[in-house]
């Protein structure tokens, strides 16, 4: 398929099947950053609810920067992967205190923010500033594999996709067909491919199967953060908390994960009790 025919196919589908989300209706880089962090490891339908709640509580980067970590983690409950909330807060603090509240508007500037990698920086540049930066995520990857690598055997590396992404990416920020809308169109088509053809991401070298949550240290840390968010605990009272929630865990496992959470900046110990930092 030629790049031109590919673009025509994607745009046609998008015009007829465009999805609507609150984060697509804003150009606020902070709001877009929030949505990108939430969407990284959480289903879209869940994010729709939590995003609306979050933006009511923390409508600006300053409101998040100066909020307590306890309030932030309370608001994040239900999304999982609490490190994302911590990274988002640290990024907001950097913007508020180091950049005087002015959101970085360059790719390199965004990369300087805590917890922001190349994908997130590129996504903010595209969605907030309509700049033609290459962006690869699960749905976009699916589309390019479907159209351009149908006959290839073996795993496909993102470096094979990048030239095609750059070649088909609109360079000008024209109304309705610039980088922003193009990536939204690709993502929507990717959802269509997954639903009707299957998960082609399994053919990517970058595909990873999510590790089991039940019985993992991630489950233990998630439980500890959830418990301590609402009241301080000792290692002994945390054992009782897990028993009430029918989760089998030893005191040794609790202590091990308390140490990790303290090092990561989630919690502090005062006397014998652990609190949110």
Active site residues: 36
Contact 274, 228 (CB under 8 A): yes
Q: How many CA atoms lie within 13 A of 72 on its CB side?
A: 25
Distance of alpha carbon 255 from its chain centroid, rounded? 29
Please report which helix (H) or strand (E) contains residue 209, including its range: none
Cα distances from 164 to residues 1, 160, 253, in angstroms, run 12, 8, 47
Q: Read off the tokens for 41.
A: 């490891």
The Cα 196–Cα 207 span in angstroms is 19
Q: Read off the tokens for 32.
A: 């877009």
Which are the contacts of 87, defined by CB distance < 8 A and separation ≥ 6? 37, 114, 115, 116
Find the Cα–Cα–Cα–Cα dihedral 183, 187, 189, 190, rounded to 10°: 130
> DSSP state, 156?
B
Q: Read off the tokens for 17.
A: 């099947």
Contact 29, 107 (CB under 8 A): no
């Amino acid at each position: 398929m030629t790049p031109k025919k590919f673009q025509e196919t994607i745009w046609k589908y998008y015009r007829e099947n465009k999805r609507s989300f609150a984060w697509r209706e804003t150009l606020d880089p902070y709001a877009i950053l929030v949505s990108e962090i939430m969407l990284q490891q959480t289903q879209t339908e869940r994010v729709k609810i939590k995003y609306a709640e979050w933006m009511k509580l923390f409508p600006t980067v300053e409101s998040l920067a100066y909020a307590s970590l306890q309030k932030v983690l309370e608001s994040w409950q239900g999304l999982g992967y609490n490190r994302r909330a911590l990274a988002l807060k640290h990024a907001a603090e950097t913007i508020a205190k180091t950049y005087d509240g002015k959101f970085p508007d360059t790719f390199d500037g965004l990369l300087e923010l805590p917890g922001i990698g190349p994908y997130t920086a590129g996504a903010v540049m595209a969605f907030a500033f309509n700049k033609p930066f290459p962006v690869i995520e699960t749905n976009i990857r699916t589309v390019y594999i479907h159209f351009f690598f149908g006959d290839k055997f073996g795993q496909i590396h993102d470096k094979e996709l990048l030239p095609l992404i750059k070649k088909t990416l609109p360079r000008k920020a024209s109304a309705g067909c610039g980088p922003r809308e193009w990536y939204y169109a690709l993502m929507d088509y990717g959802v269509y491919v997954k639903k009707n053809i299957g998960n082609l991401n399994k053919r990517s070298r970058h595909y990873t199967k999510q590790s089991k949550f039940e019985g993992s240290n991630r489950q233990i840390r998630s439980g500890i953060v959830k418990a301590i968010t609402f009241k301080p605990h000792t290692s002994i009272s945390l054992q009782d908390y897990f028993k009430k929630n029918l989760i089998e865990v030893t005191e040794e496992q609790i202590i091990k994960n308390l140490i990790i959470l303290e090092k990561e900046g989630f919690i502090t110990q005062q006397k014998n009790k652990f609190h949110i930092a």
